[in-house]
Structure 1
Amino acid sequence: MRLFVKLSSAFAIFVAASCSPLPAEPARPTAGSSEPFVIAANPLAAEAGAEVLRRGGSAVDAAIAVQAMLSLVEPQSSGMGGGAFMNYFESSTGRLTIYDGREVAPAQATPGMFLDAAGKPLPFDTAVVSGRATGVPGAVKMLAFAHGEHGKLPWRTLFGSAERTADEGFVVSPRLGRMIHASNAENRAPDVIAYFSKPDGTLLSAGDRLVNKPYADFLRRLADQGPAALYDGSTAAKIVSRTRAGPLRGSMTLADLVAYKPVKREPVCGKYRLYLLCVPPPPSSGVGLIQLMMLLEQTDIGSRGPTDPQAWFLFAEASRVMYADRDKYVGDPAFARVPVGSMIDPFYVAARRRLIGSTAGPPPEAGRPEPVRQPGADNTLEPTGTSHFIIRDARGNVVSMTTTVESIFGSGRMVDGFFLNNEMTDFSFSPTDAQGRPVANAVAAGKRPRSSMVPSILLTRDGRFAGAIGSAGGNAILAYVAKSLVAAVDWNMSMPDALAAPNLVARGPNFNGEVMKFSPAILEGLRQRGIDLKPGQGEDSGVTAVLIRNGKIDGAADPRREGVVVMVH
C-alpha cells in the first residue's frame, strides 16, 4: 500500500479493505442537512464564526474568527501563539486538503535540550515553563495560507468580534475560572498570575470580567498587516525576547519566525463501516486513529453495545495495540520514516488484531509493519490542552480544525495579550532509548513534533460529506475520538449521547477513564478481564462532532466543556 492513501485511490480500496460485507448506504442527505453551522468549545467563539457566515463568509473565514476569539476566551487551550491542523473539504470538487500549521523547532534547537547536566530528562514541570518550551508558532500563517486559497471576505474584516470582546471584556466562564485556580506549573508563571490578578491581588474567578487591551491592539495590527503582525516587527521581537528569558532560555530568533512555512498535505484515508475516514498525515497521529477503527471493525464491538463490558474490553485492548505502533513510528516525515501505508494495511491490521485475547496482559509491543530500521522506544509526554471546532458554510465547504498551545496556558509566557505555546515539550525528552536507538520523535532543528491532533472528516462512498470529528486531550485524543465514533456509528447513539458516553483511555500498562460514569457491572466485567480501571484520564475530552444522518444534522459539543452548536439560518 502506498505511503499516503490519497482520495483518488482511496475509493478504489474502500470495498477491498473491508473484512465483512458493507451494510446499506445511509439515506442520501436532504436539504435539511445542508445548513451552515459552527460547533466550537466556547459560545463566544462559535458566535464569532457564525457572524462571519451570516455575512457570506467561507468556512475558512469563519475559522479565523473562531481562532481569534478562542485565543481570548479559552487561552488555556489554543491561541495565536500556538499551532493547528486544518482538514478542509471543498464541496464543489469533493477534494480534501490538509493545512499543517504545526509549530517547528528553532534552527538552534538540539536533541539534548531537555536533558539535565547528568543526561537525564528534565522534570516536565521544569521544562514546560522554560524558554525552551516554545516552538515557532504556526496557526496564524496556516490560517492566512488557507484564507488565500479559500477565503471570501477580506482578511481585515474577520477579527472584529474578538477585538471588541477584548476591548470591552468578557465574563470569565466556569471552565476558565477553574483553570485560573488550578495548581499546574503554568499557574505559578509570573505572566499567568499578572494577567489573571485583580487590582487587590486576588485571582479572577468565574463571573468576573476580563479585559485584554493588548490583545485588542494586536488584533487591529493583525487585521491591517496580515501574518507579518506576528512574524515580524514588534510582536516577533517580544516573542524572541520572552522565549530567551530564563529559566532555561530558548534559542528562537527573528529569522525562525520569518522562515516559518505552513505545509499543504494530502490526507490519509481508510474505510470505517459505511464511511471513508480521512485524517491528517504525520506529524499528526491520524494514521493511529484509522488503525484503531480498523482494529475495532474486525471485532464484534458494534453488536455488543455500551452496556456490555466485553465491548469496553475490546476498545481498551485495541487502543493499546494502536498506541504501541503510534508511539514508536509516528514523527515528522521530513526527519523519520513513518510507515503510514503499512500501518493501515488490512493484512497487517488483521495480524495486530490477533493480539487481542480474552484477558488483558502485559502492554503489547509495537509491530513491524515494514522491514525497516526500528526506531527506539518513545517516552514523549503530552498534556491535555487543545480545542477542536467544525464549520460548514453556505456552499457546503467544511473546516475540521484542531488547535493548541499544548499545556494549560501554554508555556505560561505571554506576549501582546496571548500565551506562547509549549509545543517543544511534545518531543521526546530523550533523543535515544535505553539501547541507544534514536527515537522517531526526538528534537531536531526545524522539526515538527508529533501531534495527537486528528481533525477528521467522514465521506460517503461516493465522496459526499458525511461528518466531522476531533477533540482536545493530548495523547488521549485518539481514544476520545474513537470512543465517540463507536458510540455514534456502531451503537447508533445520538451525537450528544455519544460524546457524553464514558471515556476509557488504555495505553501501555495504564487503564484510565471516567470510573464514576461506568456502571458497577461494567467495572466488574472489566476486572474479570484483567482491567482495573483507574481515574486519571477521561475527564478532559473536548470532542466536537457531526454526522449527517437521515437527512438531518446530528451535531454536538462535549458536555465536559462549554461548547455549543450554532446553526446559521
Structure 2
Amino acid sequence: MLPLRARLTLTGLLLVPMYSWGFSYEAPSITPEVGSGYEEKPGWATSTFAVAAANPLATDAGYQVLQAGGNAIDAAIAVQMVLTLVEPQSSGIGGGAFLMHYDGANVQAYDGRETAPAAANGELFIEEGEPLAFMDAVASGLSVGVPGTVRMLEKAHAEHGQLPWEVLFEPAITLAEEGFAVSQRLHTSLANDEALRQDPLAGSFYYGADGEPIEVGETLTNPALAAILQRIASEGSAALHGGDIAEDFVNRVREHPVRPGAITIEDMSGYEALEREPLCTPWQQWEVCGFPPPSSGHITVMQILGMLDQQPLLEAPLDNGVSSSGWLHQFLEASRLAFADRGRYIADPAFVEAPGDDWSLMLAPDYLSRRSALINQDSMGENAEPGNPGDFAVSFASQPEQPEYGTSHISIVDADGNAIAMTTTIEQAFGSRILADGGTGLPGGYLLNNELTDFSFVPEIDGEPVANRVEPGKRPRSSMSPTLVFDQDSGKLVATLGSPGGAAIIHYTARTLLAMRDWGLSAQEALNLPHAITLGGDVFVEEGRFPETTIESLRERGHVVSERELTSGLQAIMRLEDGSLFGGADPRREGVVMGD
C-alpha cells in the first residue's frame, strides 16, 4: 500500500497539504466476495478524537483533517472522497448517504438519499408485463437515481464546517493523481464482477486486455476522478449537478446500450439535500438516535430491541463467545415481526402517511408489547404478519427484499465532542456498473449508483399498492442505520456506529447495540460476534461461526437455517467512563480506527 500520510497544516490563512511517507498498511485477506476467513482486530483506544472508516487510507484522511484542527463534518468529507477512490465498489460521489450529526448540544439528520427522476413511474422495472430479474435491472441505466452525497455534505459543511471546503479534497486528489496500491478486497470484488467488465470505461480502466482485474498491490491512478474532485473542490456541488460533469452523467444513463434510463439535467440540478427530524428513542438507560424514513433502519432496529425487552430471558445470551440458540430464536422472531411492519408501512414520508405524525406509533411500548407477545417457543417462519400500530386506515402490500452490498459506514468523534455517524452507498457492489469520467476524456472516473432497485419492482401486489413503489422524485426506502447513542441521565454521547449490509444492516446494528449495552462488550468485541439474520423467511447464520448444536437447536424450533457469508462492515466508537474513546472496525473488512 502506498505509504501516504497526508498532513494538512495551517499556514497563515491557507491550508497547505504537506506529505510525509510513513503510513503503511497490510490488507486483510477476508473479503465479502471470497469469504475465506475472519481476522479479529484488537480495537483502538484514543484519548481525544477518533475516526473509523472502511479503508485505512480513508481513515487516515479523516485523521489528518482532525489533526489539522478540522471537526467531525470536515473529516467525514475527506473520508468520503477517499472512499470514492479506494473503495469504489461501496460508495462515492455518484451515490447517496444519510448523516447523523451531533454538535455537542443538538442532533441533526442530513438526507442525501438519491431520488427517482421525474420521468420514472411504477412500471420502471416491468418488461413485457413481468418484473426484471434483479441483476438485469441493476446493471442498466434504469437503476440510476439522482445522486445526493456531495450536495448533502455541502449542506452540512455550510452549517458546521471548520476548515475550508476545498482543503478537504486534498487527500483524495493527491491519491488519485499519485496512485494507491490496490487492496485485496478491491481486486477480489473486480474479479468476481462480470457486469463491470462490459462497461466501456470500467472495462478498460479496471481490467487488462485479457479481462483480468488489476492486481493486488499494483498502483492505480485515477486522473479523471482527480479532475472531477478538483472541480467540486473549487465550485462546490454545482460542479457535479450542472455543467459538463452532469451532462456526462446524464448521457451515460440515457445512452446505456441495453436499458437506458431517463435522468435529465433538470433532475440533476434540481436535487435538494434535506434536513430531517432525527428519531430519538429511549431504551433503558440510553437514548438511541437514528435516521427517520426514507430509512427504515432506526424504526426497525428499535422495534426489534423493544420487543426483545419484553421477552423472558430463556438462557444466557452468550455461550462461549457466540449467541445462544434461545436468545437467537427470540432475536430472529422479533426481526420477522419488525420486517413485516417495515415492508408494509415504511417509505419516503413525502409519499406515504406515517403511522403517527412522527412514526411514533410503530415504537410505542404498548404496541411493541403486543407484538412481542406473538413470539413463542416455535418459529412463525414466513407467517409473520404486519401489525396495526393504531388507528391507521391506509394499507399497503409488503415489498420483497433484495440483496445490497455496495455500502460503507463512517463514524467520527472529534476533539470538541462533535460526532457523526454516516452510512454511504451506491447500493450494489459497483452500483449500476456505469463508470463516468465527467467528460474529461481521462482514464478512470466514478461509479453511478443503482439505488432505484431499492424500490419495489412492482407497484402493487394483490391489488394493494406497495408503499415503496417507484414514483417521480421519490427517495427509495433504505436500511441504512447511522446511529448516535446518548446517556439518558447526563445527555452525554455514548457511541456512534453503523454498518453496510443491505437489509441485514438492521440486524447488525441491533445486535451491536445489545452487545455493548447489555453484555458488557467493548466496541470491538461487539463487532467480532458472529451474525444471524432473517428477512422474514429463511435464517442465515454466518458461515463457520456457530456450533452445529446451535444451528440444530434453531432447526428444532422450526427455523429453516443455512450458512452463508454475512460480511458486515461495522464501525463503532464508544466513549468510556473516563472520557476516553475506544473504537472498533469490522474484522470482515479492511477498515481501521485512528485517533489521538
TM-score in same-fold range (> 0.5): yes
Map 1:170-185 → 2, pairs under 5 A: 170-183=180-193, 185=195
State whether structure 2 residue 482 is matched by structure 1 residue 482. no
Deviation at 1:539, TM superposition (A): 2.2
Deviations 1:97-145 (A, max 9, x none): 000000000111111010012x211111111011111000000000000
Paired AA for residue 102 in structure 2: F
CA distance in 1, matches of 2:507, 2:215: 32
Map 1:162-561 → 2, pairs under 5 A: 162-183=172-193, 185-186=195-196, 188-198=198-208, 202-246=212-256, 247-285=258-296, 286-301=298-313, 304-307=316-319, 308-339=324-355, 340-363=359-382, 364-370=384-390, 371-416=392-437, 417-433=445-461, 435-461=462-488, 462-536=490-564, 538-551=565-578, 552-561=580-589
Paired AA for residue 332 in structure 1: D
CA distance in 2, matches of 1:221, 1:301: 57
1:27 paired residue number: none
CA distance in 2, matches of 1:191, 1:510: 39
CA distance in 2, matches of 1:353, 1:333: 26
- Give TM-score scaled by structure 2 length: 0.87
Closer, same or farther: CA 271–301 of 1 in aligned 2, 3 Å: farther
Deviation at 1:403, TM superposition (A): 0.2
CA distance in 2, matches of 1:519, 1:549: 32
- In the alignment of these two chains, the number of paired residues is 532
Deviation at 1:495, TM superposition (A): 1.8
2:83 paired residue number: 70
Closer, same or farther: CA 301–249 of 1 in aligned 2, 3 Å: farther
CA distance in 2, matches of 1:167, 1:199: 23
Deviation at 1:380, TM superposition (A): 4.5
For the 8 Å contact 2:409–2:569, the answer to whether it is kept is yes
For the 8 Å contact 1:379–1:430, the answer to whether it is kept is no
CA distance in 1, matches of 2:362, 2:505: 19
Deviation at 1:188, TM superposition (A): 4.3
Deviation at 1:436, TM superposition (A): 1.3
CA distance in 2, matches of 1:355, 1:34: 45
For the 8 Å contact 1:379–1:429, the answer to whether it is kept is no
Paired AA for residue 500 in structure 1: N
CA distance in 1, matches of 2:337, 2:86: 37
Closer, same or farther: CA 337–152 of 1 in aligned 2, 3 Å: same
For the 8 Å contact 2:197–2:207, the answer to whether it is kept is no
Closer, same or farther: CA 256–302 of 1 in aligned 2, 3 Å: farther
Paired AA for residue 351 in structure 2: F
CA distance in 2, matches of 1:47, 1:300: 44
Deviation at 1:203, TM superposition (A): 1.7
For the 8 Å contact 1:380–1:427, the answer to whether it is kept is no
Deviation at 1:305, TM superposition (A): 2.2
CA distance in 2, matches of 1:338, 1:318: 21
2:19 paired residue number: none
CA distance in 2, matches of 1:372, 1:193: 51
Which is worse superposed, 526-535 or 274-283?
526-535
Paired AA for residue 325 in structure 1: D
CA distance in 1, matches of 2:519, 2:401: 33
CA distance in 1, matches of 2:544, 2:212: 34
Which is worse superposed, 217-226 or 519-528?
519-528
Deviation at 1:37, TM superposition (A): 0.9
State whether structure 2 residue 59 is matched by structure 1 residue 46. yes
Q: Secondary structure at the match of 1:566?
A: strand
Which is worse superposed, 99-108 or 478-487?
478-487
Paired AA for residue 109 in structure 1: A
Q: Secondary structure at the match of 1:450?
A: coil
Deviation at 1:199, TM superposition (A): 6.0
Percentage of matched positions with identical amino acids: 42
Deviation at 1:427, TM superposition (A): 0.4
Q: Secondary structure at the match of 1:555?
A: strand
Deviations 1:442-500 (A, max 9, x none): 00000000000010000111321110111000111001111212222221122212111
Q: Secondary structure at the match of 1:512?
A: strand
CA distance in 2, matches of 1:508, 1:190: 39
Q: Secondary structure at the match of 1:223?
A: helix
CA distance in 1, matches of 2:144, 2:573: 33
- Gaps (5+ residues) in structure 2? 1-44, 438-444
Deviations 1:407-428 (A, max 9, x none): 0111010112100000011100
Deviation at 1:157, TM superposition (A): 0.6
CA distance in 1, matches of 2:369, 2:196: 43
- Give TM-score scaled by structure 1 length: 0.91
CA distance in 2, matches of 1:301, 1:106: 48
Deviation at 1:186, TM superposition (A): 4.0
Paired AA for residue 291 in structure 2: P
CA distance in 1, matches of 2:300, 2:525: 24
Deviation at 1:233, TM superposition (A): 0.9
Which is worse superposed, 191-200 or 177-186?
191-200
Paired AA for residue 499 in structure 1: L
Closer, same or farther: CA 303–51 of 1 in aligned 2, 3 Å: farther
CA distance in 2, matches of 1:236, 1:68: 18
Deviations 1:350-392 (A, max 9, x none): 0000111101123201111133221122124241220001111
CA distance in 1, matches of 2:402, 2:430: 17
For the 8 Å contact 1:62–1:158, the answer to whether it is kept is yes
Deviation at 1:75, TM superposition (A): 0.5
Deviation at 1:300, TM superposition (A): 4.1
Deviation at 1:151, TM superposition (A): 0.3
Q: Secondary structure at the match of 1:132?
A: coil
Q: Secondary structure at the match of 2:130?
A: coil
Q: Secondary structure at the match of 2:562?
A: coil
Map 1:137-156 → 2, pairs under 5 A: 137-156=147-166
